[in-house]
Amino acid sequence: MLRYVFILIFGVAAFGQQPGDFVDVAQFSPHIKLDICYATDNNFLHRAVYPQARCFLRYETALALNEVQKELESIGLGLKIFDGYRPLSVQKMMWKIMPDARYVANPAKGSRHNRGAAVDVTLVDSTGKELDMPTPFDDFTERAHHDYNKLPPKVRLNRWILKTVMEKHGFKPIRTEWWHYDLTGWKKFPVEDISFDELDQRLHKAEKK
């Protein structure tokens, strides 16, 4: 607990953000790899819905994720992020294509992604190569569920490592997607529909203060 408070206090001084603010993960935790699929056509919508391949998260989410990255690095692994904060307008696009609450949150209630308190992640080795997981990202089948075990031992181990380390640092999985994790306490953050451009402007203003 004391270690977390120390990081929180000195992290704010270092990055200029306060708890509840959004941060740019590439600047906050540069060792974490990014593969923002929704900035490309390599996703279930088959088109880019983000203007930039960037990942924004609430300060608290990024802070906890940075601790996950540090622990993984101690065993020769790391994180790769597929998605972080997602504007509500994009959530509505997704719901039109996949109106199934097992895989896409109903925009009427909002997603943890819309709050900046959820991440879609996988593991990579020390060279940045993805480890074998049960499915590719955004595979809407039972094979992506955490309780699906008709998998090679190596794949089950990789899924277990990711889940164990994420949970240790305050994240909770959802049953149907091995890659999705919510930060504990996500309810305190409001659903947002802020564009990436506006978030970028906010960060620039914070840096100038």
**125 is annotated as contributing to ligand binding:** no
d(CA 57, CA 104): 19
Q: What is the CATH number of the domain that holds 91?
A: 3.30.1380.10
Residues with catalytic roles: 177
**113 is annotated as contributing to ligand binding:** yes
State the average pLDDT over residues 67-71.
Answer: 98
Q: pTM, whole model, 2 decimals? A: 0.90
Number of structural domains found in the chain: 1
**146 is annotated as contributing to ligand binding:** no
Q: How many residues does the chain have?
A: 209
Kindly state the tokens that stand for 75: 């065993």
- Least Cα distance to 162 among 147, 150, 179 occurs for 179
- Mean of the per-residue pLDDT values of the chain: 92
Domain span at residue 79? 2-208
Which range among 28-37, 64-73, 114-123, 196-205 shows the weakest confidence by mean pLDDT? 196-205
